[in-house]
Amino acid sequence: MNIKKSLITFGAAAAMVAPTLLGSVVANAAVNPAPRQAQTNHKPQQQKSKQDNQKLSLTSRESGSQYTNDNSGYNVTVKATNLINTLHYNVQTSTDSGASSADPFSISIYKDGSLYKTISSSTGTLSGSLWVGSGTYSIKVYTSSAASHWTGGLATS
């Protein structure tokens, strides 16, 4: 009987202390680490890709009936409601004539209106997925002048 009473007392004490401990752990996780020194070794290839990205411009998504299959299942804006979600992105670029483009482009994914992630592609197609928290995610696509349109977008699961 004494063991049962001890376990109940311990459980009650743990229930009272746990919120305090968890709150301090979460608060400590929010502390930013000391800033790192900038690397002085820049590779020429990295500089070239940054220069290429500066030449990209925001482009519009194809939305005509002939692009229904390409856009099927994907949207420009999606809402992730779970604590942990999988955000899928799939983008194909095309020229004014509708032909597929193989030119480099990049996508910017926004969470609740703030930039969340930028991903670049050296080809005309980019697809993948990310684990994300809850929120509203949107996509913007930046392409070269040759690739003036895109299809696809975002989806959650």
Quickly state the pLDDT bin for 119 (edges 50, 70, 90).
very high
Q: Provide the pLDDT for residue 19.
A: 54
CATH, residue 109: 2.60.40.4070
- 12 assigned to some structural domain: no
For the segment 78-91, the average pLDDT, to the nearest whole number, is 95
Residue that is written with structure tokens 């969340």 in the block = 116
For the segment 3-12, the average pLDDT, to the nearest whole number, is 67
**What is the domain count for the chain?**
1
pLDDT tens by residue, 21-56: 444 444 444 444 444 444 434 333 444 444 444 567
Residue numbers of the domain that contains 99:
56-156
- 33 assigned to some structural domain: no
- 83 assigned to some structural domain: yes
This prediction's pTM: 0.62
Per the rule left: phi > 0, alpha: psi between -120 and 50, beta: everything else, 92 is: beta
- 114 assigned to some structural domain: yes
- Of 130, 135, 139, 61, whose CA–CA distance to 106 is shortest? 139
Quickly state the pLDDT bin for 17 (edges 50, 70, 90).
low
- 130 assigned to some structural domain: yes
- 89 assigned to some structural domain: yes
- Of 70, 59, 91, 75, whose CA–CA distance to 136 is shortest? 75
- 134 assigned to some structural domain: yes
Neighbours of 59 (CB within 10 A): 19
Question: Has residue 66 got a pLDDT over 90?
Answer: no
- 16 assigned to some structural domain: no
Classify residue 49 as exposed, middle or buried by CB count within 10 Å of its CB (0-12, 13-18, 19+): middle
